[in-house]
């Protein structure tokens, strides 16, 4: 039995290195690798890469316009990574097992119905953009870097989605709210929270899931794992592991450290649905 599952794991590692795996297969491989930690899950991909590299002749430089775009993207990325003294950290663990893998189908089926059964209370308390309610004083230091990037995205994106978080009955949702912005064209987005409880990363972390109308609703896209390190307003950049074509729902769950491939959705404090 052990040999058979190890053999199956190797077969799937080879498939992943050459033609990729769908979400179901990815989850299956992750389960197999947990049973066979002795298998080096990068070595087949490195072998395939070595073959590709051996036969590739880089005969053309990057086109100038493309290089400029890549350079601009790099500048943007490094600007976001600059350390700040601010409070909330974006902690993303793009673990290989979390990349593009999906869920055990049975566990996600009906998850939307289950979430709908929780009492959703749209707080709509975000006052900053109303004419009559001046912005609240932020209790905690603002994350300037992520917030500036968020503001820039809002200013520039022609296809911006902006949704308010709806709280569920999860204890973490009590008093929590905020919004999420997303641009499909740039594949960038930011979550803004207020009142989301500080988490101990050694015990649990928050994780974002993005549901794509053009994907299988059983297998949402992993939007990244993150922490809230101090109370107050926090802005967190979305780190989608796969391209999202048409988001329909954003969901924040609470997971074990490092996040998960399959969420049990036992802790699901916030949702933002595209109407």
For other proteins, which residue of 50, 113, 119, 137 counts as binding (CB under 8 A)? 50
For the packed helices 144-156 and 64-81, what is the interaxial angle rounded to 10 degrees? 140
Q: Among 183, 171, 162, 169, which residue's Cα sits nearest to residue 244?
A: 183
Backbone phi, then psi, for 15, in 5-degree steps?
Answer: -60, -40
18 binds other proteins (CB under 8 A): yes
Written as six digits, the tokens of 214 are 């053009």
Residue with tokens 């974002």: 208
Cβ nearer to other proteins, comparing 34 with 79: 79
Cβ nearer to other proteins, comparing 153 with 268: 153
Q: Among 115, 108, 99, which residue's Cα sits nearest to residue 267?
A: 115
Triad 161, 149, 157: Cα angle to 5°: 35
Cβ nearer to other proteins, comparing 100 with 178: 100
Cβ nearer to other proteins, comparing 65 with 113: 65
Site size toward other proteins (CB under 8 A) is 51
> 3-class SS at 236?
strand
Residue with tokens 């490094």: 78
174 binds other proteins (CB under 8 A): no
Please state, in angstroms and rounded to a whole number, the distance separating the CA atoms of residues 119 and 167. Answer: 8
Region near other proteins per CB under 8 A, out of 54-62, 148-156, 247-255, 266-274: 54-62
42 binds other proteins (CB under 8 A): yes
70 binds other proteins (CB under 8 A): yes
For other proteins, which residue of 4, 57, 155, 203 counts as binding (CB under 8 A)? 57
- N residues, the chain: 275
Written as six digits, the tokens of 36 are 């066979």
Region near other proteins per CB under 8 A, out of 73-81, 103-111, 118-126, 165-173: 73-81
63 binds other proteins (CB under 8 A): yes
Please state, in angstroms and rounded to a whole number, the distance separating the CA atoms of residues 91 and 209. Answer: 15
Q: How far is the CB of 84 from other proteins (least distance, A)?
A: 12
Cβ nearer to other proteins, comparing 99 with 200: 99
Question: Hey, which residues between 80 and 99 contact other proteins (CB under 8 A)?
Answer: 81-82, 92, 94, 99
DSSP 8-state class, residue 55: T
Chain positions contacting other proteins, by CB under 8 A: 10-11, 14-15, 17-20, 22, 42-63, 66-67, 69-71, 73-75, 77-78, 81-82, 92, 94, 99-100, 239, 242-243, 245
């Amino acid at each position: 039995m052990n040999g058979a599952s190890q053999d199956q794991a190797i077969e799937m590692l080879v498939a992943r290195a050459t033609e990729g795996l769908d979400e179901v297969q990815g989850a299956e491989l992750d389960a197999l690798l947990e049973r066979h930690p002795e298998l080096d899950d990068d070595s087949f991909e490195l072998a395939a890469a070595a073959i590709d590299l051996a036969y590739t002749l880089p005969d053309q430089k990057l086109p100038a316009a493309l290089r400029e775009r890549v350079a601009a993207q790099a500048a943007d990325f490094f600007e976001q990574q600059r350390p700040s003294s601010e409070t909330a950290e974006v902690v993303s663990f793009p673990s290989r097992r979390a990349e593009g893998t999906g869920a055990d189908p049975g566990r996600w089926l009906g998850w939307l119905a289950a979430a709908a059964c929780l009492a959703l209370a749209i707080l709509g308390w975000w006052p900053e953009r109303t004419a009559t309610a001046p912005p609240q004083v932020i209790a905690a230091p603002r994350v300037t870097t992520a917030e500036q990037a968020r503001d820039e995205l809002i200013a520039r994106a022609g296809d911006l989605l902006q949704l308010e978080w709806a709280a569920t009955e999860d204890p973490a949702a009590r008093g929590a709210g905020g919004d999420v912005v997303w641009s499909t064209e740039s594949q960038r987005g930011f979550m803004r929270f207020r009142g989301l409880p500080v988490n101990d990363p050694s015990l649990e972390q928050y994780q974002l899931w993005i549901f794509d109308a053009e994907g299988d609703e059983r297998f949402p896209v992993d939007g990244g794992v993150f922490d809230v390190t101090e109370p107050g307003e926090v802005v967190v950049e979305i780190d989608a592991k796969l391209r999202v074509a048409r988001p329909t729902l954003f969901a924040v769950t609470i997971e074990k450290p490092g996040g998960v491939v399959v969420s049990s959705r036992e802790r699901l404090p916030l949702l933002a649905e595209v109407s």
